[in-house]
Amino acid sequence: MAETTSPSLTTQRTSAPTLAGEPLSADICVIGGGAGGLHVAATAAAFGRKVVLVEKHRVGGEGLNAGSIPSKALLAAARRARAFETASDFGIASIDPKTDHRVVQHYVRRVISATAPNSSVERFTGLGVHVILGAARFLDKRTVLAGDYRVTARRFVIATGSSPSVPDVPGLETVSYFTSDTIFDNDRKLPHLVILGAGPTGLELAQAHARLGSRVTVLDTGRALSKEDPEAVAIALKALRAEGIDLREGVTVERIERLAGLVRLHVTTENGTVTVDGSHLLFATGRTPNVSDLNLEAAGIKYGPEGIVVNRGLRTSNSRIYAIGDVAAGGPRDTHASTWHAEIVLRRALFWLPAKAEPTLVPRVTFTEPEIAHVGLTEQEARAAGHKINVLRWPFVENDRAEAERETAGHVKVVTTPRGRVLGATIVGAEAGELIHLWSLVVSQRLDIKAVAGAVAPYPTRSEASRRAAYRAYASTPSNPALRKLIDFLARLG
């Protein structure tokens, strides 16, 4: 994360509003009740600190209410539908599943409700956290106006997250559309869903809706899953297209218009302009940090279009204030990254330890089928950084568990230094998100490839593929002349 700021960042100061509200003091004031903010609040309270938590919308944040939890519930429903269609591979008659979209939506809501108590106001009040439901606005460098309170604190943590970003396309005002947040409120079949954005969110939602009976077209200005290893992306996109998803890369939407019962997009491609008609439109074109109503200028906090500027310790230009999660510029934007940021801030704010954020240590997962999971450096990133590398692979087609379950697409790919230190790993295939944790540990602890090669994997599991990939580092060992001479000598000794 950036240590310095650019001239374009906002540094202007404004006069503070008239002071109002009942005074309230705290050791730590957390602004934002998403995953990261809740982790800071709960842990600090557990250590006896006086904590104030401010949330203006829904406690639990985007991840619980409109992100990770509902999307995975929707994907789970779609996976069951797909299983009916592909059962003949196992000697069971395949059928065309009949989807009740209202029941699916009820199931998604039920999953949210089941996980919500862990993030409830009641739970955090019980933990000793003073929860304020309302917007927060800085009055000066150490004071926030929140609800009926004027809060002063020794440290502030801004964890306000992000909101869907919708590009300004001519004609957009004439049509209705979903965002990656509002799509989970839908309870009916979408005959032809057009999705703008082929990142992880766009493709996950594309596959889910295709499996639940919608025709799906995905449009992207660049390359689909552009941050991921091209080898892994090619395997995932082949599977998505095989399920009937119309994915078009390198296209630009010039304008949108509303027709009778349709949304028409005028799209520029390398072969000219075409039109794409759909029944519904979904924007999955990224997210924008939530900073607009915080009055950051009054607190002396520098920020820009990518969010609040922080150093590697997640401290802002105001030394009393930290920013974590989506609202912090330059970092990964995942729920687990927010929680990791929270742990760094807690170590610094409570124990004065020199913890620092290193984005490459945070794994990421695209939850399509097959999944793509990654941690550390990709092969391209490692080469660009000037590393001399070895690339180790093991395909799932050579894995007995994958063969038994007829899910053999994909591989484990590991990037190491010539001496064997693991720089990064990419897994594409079934359960890649579960398998990447081993490599996350290896990368974060700067372990050698022999640590994985020497571990015993249970049989038959997909985890064997990681061990077999690690063993590739020693593929040439049996033909080593010196080693063969040593073995011959030892054999002569009896």
pLDDT in tens, 1-53: 333 333 333 333 333 344 568 999 999 999 999 999 999 999 999 999 999 99
Q: What is the CATH number of the domain that holds 423?
A: 3.30.390.30
In this structure, the answer to whether residues 145 and 216 fall within a common structural domain is no
475 labelled ligand-binding: no
In this structure, the answer to whether residues 402 and 465 fall within a common structural domain is yes
How large is the average pLDDT for residues 398-411?
A: 97
pLDDT band at 429 (very low <50, low <70, confident <90, very high): very high
What are the pLDDT digits (tens) for 241-300?
Answer: 999 999 999 999 999 999 988 999 999 999 899 999 999 999 999 999 999 999 999 999
Residue 88 lies in a domain: no
End-of-domain residue from the set 234, 253, 286:
286
Residue 477 pLDDT: 65
In this structure, the answer to whether residues 269 and 188 fall within a common structural domain is yes
162 labelled ligand-binding: yes
CA 87 to chain centre: 31
In this structure, the answer to whether residues 178 and 277 fall within a common structural domain is yes
201 labelled ligand-binding: yes
88 labelled ligand-binding: no
In this structure, the answer to whether residues 39 and 153 fall within a common structural domain is yes
Domain total in the chain: 3
Residue 97 lies in a domain: no
pTM for the model: 0.91
Hey, which residues does 153 pair with through a beta bridge? 26
In this structure, the answer to whether residues 431 and 454 fall within a common structural domain is yes
72 labelled ligand-binding: yes
In this structure, the answer to whether residues 142 and 188 fall within a common structural domain is no
48 labelled ligand-binding: no
395 labelled ligand-binding: no
Residue 279's domain comprises 172-286
Residue 238 lies in a domain: yes
What is the percent of the chain where pLDDT is above 70? 93
239 labelled ligand-binding: no
160 labelled ligand-binding: yes
In this structure, the answer to whether residues 149 and 293 fall within a common structural domain is yes
How many Å apart are CA 120 and CA 355, to the nearest integer? Answer: 29
Residue 492 lies in a domain: no
Residue 341 pLDDT: 97
In this structure, the answer to whether residues 384 and 246 fall within a common structural domain is no
Residue 267 lies in a domain: yes
How many Å apart are CA 29 and CA 45, to the nearest integer? Answer: 11
Residues 211, 79: contact at Cβ < 8 Å? yes
Residue with more model confidence, 78 or 8? 78
Which residue type does 218 have? V
In this structure, the answer to whether residues 282 and 334 fall within a common structural domain is no
Residues 27, 153: contact at Cβ < 8 Å? yes
In this structure, the answer to whether residues 300 and 246 fall within a common structural domain is no
Residue 220 lies in a domain: yes
In this structure, the answer to whether residues 466 and 408 fall within a common structural domain is yes
